[in-house]
Homo-oligomer: A and B are copies of this chain.
Amino acid sequence: MWCPKPLCPSLSNCLQQRERWSPWGGGGEGHPICSHSNPLLSLPLPPDCCSPVNFLEAEGHQGLVAAVFGILFSSICVLVLDTDPLPFIASSSPRSRGREVPSLYWKIMALLYYPAFYYPLIACATIRHRAGYFVGCLLSWCHCVVHIWQKVDCPQSPKIYRYYSLLSYVPIILCLVVLSIWYPVLLVRSFTQEKPAAREVMHCSFLLDLCYVYSKSQRKYQFPPPLMLVPLLCNSYVPVIGFQVPLKLVLSVTTAVIAVYQVALLLLVVFIPNIQIVRAGMTKEITVLLVQFGVVPSENPAVPVCSLTVCYVCSLVLSCLLTFSMLMRSLVMHRANLKALYRGDVLDVFYRARMLCPSQQALVCWMSFASFQTAFACLGLLTQQVIFFVCTVGFTFLVVIPLQSGTNMHLFKILENMWPFWLTLVLAVVVQNLLAHFHFLEKHHLQKELTNRRALCIMTYLLFPINVLVGVLAGVWRMVISALYNAVHFCQLDISLLNRGVEAFDPGYRTYCHYLKIEVSQSHPVMKAFCFLLLQLSGPEGQTGLKPTDVEEGIQLMQPVKGLLKASKSKQTRARWGLAYTLLNNPSLLACRKTVLSDPTANGTQSCPAKP
């Protein structure tokens, strides 16, 4: 349900401010606190948040970082087929032409060069300073103008298909346009922002997260319901108030969507020239030969080529839509899993007890999570395209064309000749169901009981041969459904393609589980809010403007919202009850709480809410 009225008066401002701050549609937007003079205020961002490097830590500029990763990934896609992997080394030089190995070396170099080349585009925003924003503006404008100029100047290329180069650069140019708008906005805002409001926004952000994680009431969507009818019906992802998608997830979904675009584009441009060659090569002699063999209907010999094209495009569109919707459902699963882990329900997510602590393997998986998601989206799309193309071609040539033209009815003839066989199978299944319902079961004290056991034995024995044939059909169905399921869900890392006992052998699922571990252990919302409130208190009180009674507001929010509104008399007593209740329900937090309290110097590093 959409929540037009915020939860409580104190949160009302937060919501309005958060929406005002967020050009990303309320998703995640930076809280420009770092420019404040008090360094303690910058927590739970670590004290080094204003350096240009920790762009994956700071909870700001998600869209900006995602755009840079999009540019980076698109550059690599272009690179794979490019003969000039690096811009300053032309392939037309006689030394490298025709030699594969040097080109491979340059490509490997390019894999390291491009990240470094686009790095300043992120760094300018991570510095969180006016000068950075200004340089960012200049850089993004330069990149954007250069790319657009290049493509306008020379839209065609001889590679594969004349417009392939132009189309493959579209994501890069779009991402650069996003950057070119984002940086000026940041620059202008850095002159006009009000600092106390920023602090307030930060505070409320944590409270909202806590409220989302611990409330059992219905979700409050960020947009009014009519806008989200379609995504909700498709079980797709819809932003919810109080939950920020972690940056790594935003990155992985962005690059995965770009990957889908690039692979689909490649599949399309590889197909078009080939089908044109086939069409051109369909001379009269070959057509006559095909007609004689019954492959092509004699009235319209161009039908098969047209059908092939239609099948190819349809299956490509279907694959893209399916992959995209699976990515969106994946986001829903991520949110549910993160919420469950924040609440301590490890068994609901991993189905067995696990320590939520960083480990070497988990860290490596966390580093490669976005890359794996991207690669899996590519491979999933390819697999789906192959499967759907074969299926649609089979359907077209065995069902549609014969029905239209009336020739080449092999399949129908086989089916027609075998009708007694199909009838027998259907009859056997129907007879067994009817017998089971009316003859072998009798209702007895509200539950069914077996009866007529003799007849059951006889029927089981007599129908055994026919049931074997039914079993063959069921087996074929099992094969088809498992292959289709695995192909469609290939791009989802949050489900394992293997059976229960051996889930961990699936590299995608293993990566996802380890990623979740790191994500939860490093950014638990209770931990964030706790650190923030602790530091607010330890700072000079006049400056922060927070009284000790306000501190436990976050804990109050863990109760259902209705109870909260009534409980305005003895706030502190109830807050302590709430604290006790929370700790009872989440015993894993106890250790962390004590550690943090007894060791206030470890302010940046959050300890691990482990659950043995």
Closest residue of B by beta carbon distance from A500? B500
Would you call B447 and A608 a contact (CB within 8 A)?
Answer: yes
The contact of A374 among B46, B468, B481, B490, by CB within 8 Å, is: B468
- Nearest residue (CB) in B for A51 is B454
A389 in the interface (beta carbon within 8 A): no
| Interface presence of A194 (CB below 8 A) | no
Check if A378 is an interface residue, CB within 8 A of chain B: yes
Chain B residues whose CB sits within 8 angstroms of the CB of A357 once the complex forms: 447-448
A105 within 8 A of B: yes
Copies of this chain assembled into the complex: 2
- The size class of the interface chain A forms with chain B is 35 or more
Contacts of A417 in B (CB 8 A): 100-101, 104
Q: Is A506 an interface residue (CB 8 A)?
A: yes
Identity of the chain B residue whose Cβ is nearest the Cβ of A116 in the assembled complex: B462
User: Is A397 on the interface with B (CB-CB < 8 A)?
Assistant: no
Chain A residues within 8 Å of B, Cβ to Cβ: 46, 48, 51, 53-57, 69, 72-73, 76, 100-101, 104-105, 108, 111-112, 114-116, 119, 122, 351, 355, 357-361, 363-364, 366-368, 370-376, 378-380, 383, 417-418, 420-421, 424, 429, 432-433, 436-437, 440-441, 444-445, 447-451, 453-472, 474-479, 481-483, 485-486, 489-490, 495-502, 505-508, 511, 518, 522, 595, 605, 607-608, 610
13 further contact pairs, Cβ within 8 A, besides A104-B421, A375-B474, A481-B505: A76-B465, A100-B417, A115-B464, A364-B429, A370-B464, A371-B470, A447-B608, A447-B610, A475-B490, A475-B508, A482-B486, A482-B498, A489-B499
Report the bound CA distance from A437 to B362 in whole Å. Answer: 11
Q: Which residues of B contact A461 (CB under 8 A)?
A: 55-56, 115, 119, 122
A118 to chain B, nearest CB (A): 9
Residues of chain B with a CB closer than 8 A to A459's CB: 367
Contact of A73 among B115, B368, B468, B605 (CB under 8 A): B468
Q: In the bound complex, do residue B424 and residue A56 qualify as a contact, i.e. CB atoms below 8 Å apart?
A: no
User: CA A69 – CA B465 in complex, angstroms?
Assistant: 10
Q: A357-B447, A436-B363, A508-B478 are in contact. Are A368 and B467 (CB under 8 A)?
A: yes
Most buried by B among A122, A371, A496: A371
Chain B neighbourhood of A458, CB < 8 A: 53
A366-B607 Cα distance, complex, nearest whole Å: 53
Given A54-B453, A420-B108, A461-B56, residue A502 in contact with residue B485 (CB < 8 A): yes
Q: List 8 A-B contacts (CB under 8 A).
A: A73-B465, A111-B466, A358-B450, A363-B450, A371-B471, A372-B475, A445-B595, A447-B607
